[in-house]
Structure 1
Amino acid sequence: MSDIILATQGVSKYFGKFLALNDVSVSFERGKLSAIIGPNGAGKSTYFNVLSGAFPPSQGTLTYDGRDITGLPQHEFARIGIAKSFQITNVFPKLTAFENVRVAVQARHVRFGLWRPRQAYEEVNQRAHELLALVGLVQHAERPAQDMAHGEQRALEMGMALAAEPKLLLLDEPTAGMSPEETRTMMDLIQRLAGDRTVILVEHKMKLVMGICERIVVLHHGELLADGTPAEVQNNADVKRVYLGQGRSGSHAAA
């Protein structure tokens, strides 16, 4: 089995005549916690959308687990083992935390039918409780999602994503809008989840990811600026220049 779980080769993305990503080639190793970072307008969100299947690349290829998945319909990504959590929280606000996760588990494990054995539903309920425990929300199982704090809603969304039992978890700005305490809790959760699966997160907070990630990919103006360990990236002259505000000239890529 290859050590590479996800890779882009020569990926570019145009929106009309606007070039948002330019020839990005990156390989993500299996079982590692990696981060994609960069200043505002670096192309991070566009790249995330390519990795998660929301945007097909205009040029280049996307490979998962040794298989070319370029242009694969987005709904197929969960089936092959890729789950994602977007920057905007996506939960059912009027359902409880337990009900939200149970719906996600049912979507994977139960097919429509009139004659389902009771045991099948008990297994769904049990798995929902296990996922709530995994993301630290057991005590909030009966609370409506709309009554939960922002950080708790993000953890709930992550629990829903894990219902697909993914090999790869993609997280877009998982700490966006969080307080410092919520941010610390979320980063602890991400580290725990990374113990059992590959995790790739997109962040604009460089200092935040340096302490927990094994690998950092830096984008700038839609191009790959740096790629390496946190120490290598921190000592990279181009990265220092960009984060000191001395950006390159030229057209800016989408965030």
Structure 2
Amino acid sequence: MSAASSEAILRTFKVGKRFGGFTALKDISAEFRRGAITSIIGPNGAGKSTYFNLLSGAFAPSSGRVEFEGKDVTGLAQHQFAHMGVAKSFQITNVFPQLSTHENVRVAAQALTSRFDIWRPRAAMTELADKADHLLERVGLADRRTRPAGSLAHGEQRALEIGMALASEPRLLLLDEPTAGMSPEETRTMMDLIVRLGQERTVILVEHKMKLVMGISDRLLVLHHGELLAEGSPDDIRRNETVKRVYLGQREH
């Protein structure tokens, strides 16, 4: 596991989210430590994805406040989060299937450095290609460099999307159910990748597979019915009787 410091990179203060008359989140106050892997877990319908969307700027909270590196970022547009150093990978894979694996990552890197610049120097393009190669190595896809992204296995596509997210060199990486739809072998590979990423940057992931994240997380937040049920180290959560009751009978995948 990564070594966590006590400094928080991201905080929420009594955030809530309503959709019409439905309250999806209620008064969640939490902090996410810099350099740590923090997992947000809970049964289906607990509010995990809604909270993730608040943390990434996809949703503005209906109440409360969000702070990133000590600055109030409540309600800022999603692209502003990206410029601040926040990157995310979605639950649904989002790659360009016709492009090669390498081209997907290179395009992601190029979009950050040369938007609308058609007179891109050749040396700079070489740098982008080298960066794409480095990122593919980081996510374990170097040997898939020339393969069309659409031909990759599901787990490999998820890894590719993470490589694309890393092109912005984020300080905070948000992962939405990174093992969704994966085989046990793909899941183990993804968990190993997350551990490696957590050694270099802050990682927050949403996951419903509680047993899987116990071994890699520095801290866990447990949501239930849109509220924060518990938070703490994996050992704290294992011993929490309320959490045990919520998960009693919940089938782990």
The TM tier, using the shorter chain, reads: over 0.9
Structure 1 residues 69 and 2, CA gap change in structure 2 (3 angstroms): farther
Q: Which residue of 1 aligns with 2:131?
A: 127
> Which of residues 13, 17, 39 in structure 1 aligns to 2:21?
17
Q: Which amino acid aligns with 2:91?
A: Q
TM-score (norm 1): 0.94
Q: Which residue of 2 aligns with 1:47?
A: 51
Q: Which residue of 2 aligns with 1:82?
A: 86
Deviation at 1:116, TM superposition (A): 2.5
Q: Which residue of 2 aligns with 1:156?
A: 160
Partners of 1:5 and 1:187 in 2: CA distance: 22
Q: Is the 8 A contact 1:2 1:65 kept in 2?
A: no
Deviation at 1:2, TM superposition (A): 7.9
Deviation at 1:63, TM superposition (A): 0.4
SS in 2 for 1:5: strand
> Which of residues 208, 211, 233 in structure 1 aligns to 2:237?
233
Q: Which residue of 2 aligns with 1:73?
A: 77
Q: Which residue of 2 aligns with 1:251?
A: none
Deviation at 1:186, TM superposition (A): 0.2
Q: Is the 8 A contact 1:2 1:66 kept in 2?
A: no
> Which of residues 175, 178, 197 in structure 2 aligns to 1:174?
178
Deviation at 1:213, TM superposition (A): 0.5
Q: Which amino acid aligns with 2:200?
A: D
Partners of 2:134 and 2:38 in 1: CA distance: 25
Q: Which amino acid aligns with 1:39?
A: P
Deviation at 1:50, TM superposition (A): 0.5
Would you say 1:216 and 2:220 are equivalent positions?
yes
Would you say 1:192 and 2:205 are equivalent positions?
no
> Which of residues 99, 122, 147 in structure 2 aligns to 1:143?
147
Deviation at 1:26, TM superposition (A): 0.5
| CA-to-aligned-CA distance 1:94-140 (integer Å, 9 cap, x gap) | 11100000000001122433433211111010000000000000000
Q: Is the 8 A contact 1:109 1:124 kept in 2?
A: no
> Which of residues 94, 107, 126 in structure 2 aligns to 1:103?
107
Partners of 1:37 and 1:118 in 2: CA distance: 46
Q: Which stretches of structure 1, 4 residues or more, deviate above 3 A after TM superposition?
A: none
Would you say 1:30 and 2:34 are equivalent positions?
yes
Q: Which amino acid aligns with 2:16?
A: S
CA RMSD, 1 decimal: 1.3
Structure 1 residues 114 and 206, CA gap change in structure 2 (3 angstroms): closer
Deviation at 1:245, TM superposition (A): 4.3
Q: How many residues align?
A: 246
Partners of 1:3 and 1:235 in 2: CA distance: 25
Partners of 2:118 and 2:89 in 1: CA distance: 32
State percent identity of aligned pairs: 66
Deviation at 1:183, TM superposition (A): 0.1
SS in 1 for 2:246: helix
> Which of residues 186, 204, 221 in structure 1 aligns to 2:208?
204
Partners of 1:106 and 1:9 in 2: CA distance: 36
Partners of 1:68 and 1:15 in 2: CA distance: 23
Structure 1 residues 221 and 114, CA gap change in structure 2 (3 angstroms): closer
Partners of 2:24 and 2:111 in 1: CA distance: 34
Partners of 1:12 and 1:85 in 2: CA distance: 23
Q: Which amino acid aligns with 1:130?
A: H
**Uncovered stretches (5+) of structure 2, i.e. residues with no partner:** none
